[in-house]
Amino acid sequence: MINVRPEGRLGNNIFQYVFARIVHEETGLALNYSVGTKFLKTPKIEGVQGVGEHIVIQDNRGPVVLNDVVSACRGKNVLIHGFFQEKIYYQNRRQNIKQWLGEIPNSNPKTTGVHIRKGDYKSSKYWDLPDSYFLKAIEESNPTRLIVFTDEPNYPLVERLVAMGAILSKSNDAESDMFLLGTCSDIIMSRSTFSWWSGFLSCASRIYAPRTNVGFWSGCDSVLEIDSNEYRYLNVEL
């Protein structure tokens, strides 16, 4: 049986679920973990019951070799503990993952959704993005309609965009916003697992993402840069 020790919030939990789901698919072990989201399919799954005490699969923010994990887990009880934010697990399984979780339909054509995450990011140079990144991405997208998703509606850039005619999402619900962002024909990501999953599960024509020079997910060899034609990576100096 596969259990998961959840870490972080919604985007992190989806990474943990999907990694555990990959292990389930490769081993047939029961998956005893689900994520509480009303828009994505993340069910517990019946399967082989393991034997013995849990073996712990932990990434410590570094990659694990999936073939080695699968070999170690067969027939065992498994505890997944970590973040597992590495494209090597997911990129070549994108269509399978869309089937597992549910592909987000492109139901907002000619619409750009921009995720401006501030809040806890403002105190960290490794996560917070400058206004210039969002403005450049919006300019390149040239939207007919712009929807802003943010945890800080009073942030000056957000107020400026709304004054210029942007629509501010007021759902106050991360699950709803993650799904609605993914329905846009163009998506502008923050450096965030929230908007990463919106893009990855979407059918968007263009997905703008920051390529930063420092911190997690930095550089052209970033562990979460998906190699697909719809992704547009914009260089950001922090």
Separation CA 158–CA 183 (nearest Å)? 20
Summarize the confidence of residues 35-41 as an average pLDDT. Answer: 91
Q: Does residue 123 register a pLDDT over 80?
A: no
Yes or no: say if 71 and 57 are a contact pair by the CB < 8 Å rule: no
Mean pLDDT of the chain: 93
pLDDT in tens, 177-221: 999 999 999 999 999 999 999 999 999 999 999 998 887 777 656
Yes or no: say if 187 and 208 are a contact pair by the CB < 8 Å rule: yes
Separation CA 178–CA 167 (nearest Å)? 16
Element (DSSP H or E) covering residue 136: helix 131-141
pTM, rounded to two decimals: 0.94
Element (DSSP H or E) covering residue 198: helix 193-200
Separation CA 234–CA 212 (nearest Å)? 8
Tokens at 200, concatenated: 């990855």
pLDDT of res. 142:
96
Yes or no: say if 59 and 79 are a contact pair by the CB < 8 Å rule: no
Summarize the confidence of residues 75-91 as an average pLDDT. Answer: 94
Domain definitions of the chain by residue range: 2-101, 108-236
pLDDT in tens, 135-180: 999 999 999 999 999 999 999 999 999 999 999 998 888 899 999 9
pLDDT of res. 220:
57
Q: Is 108-236 assigned to CATH 3.40.50.2000?
A: yes
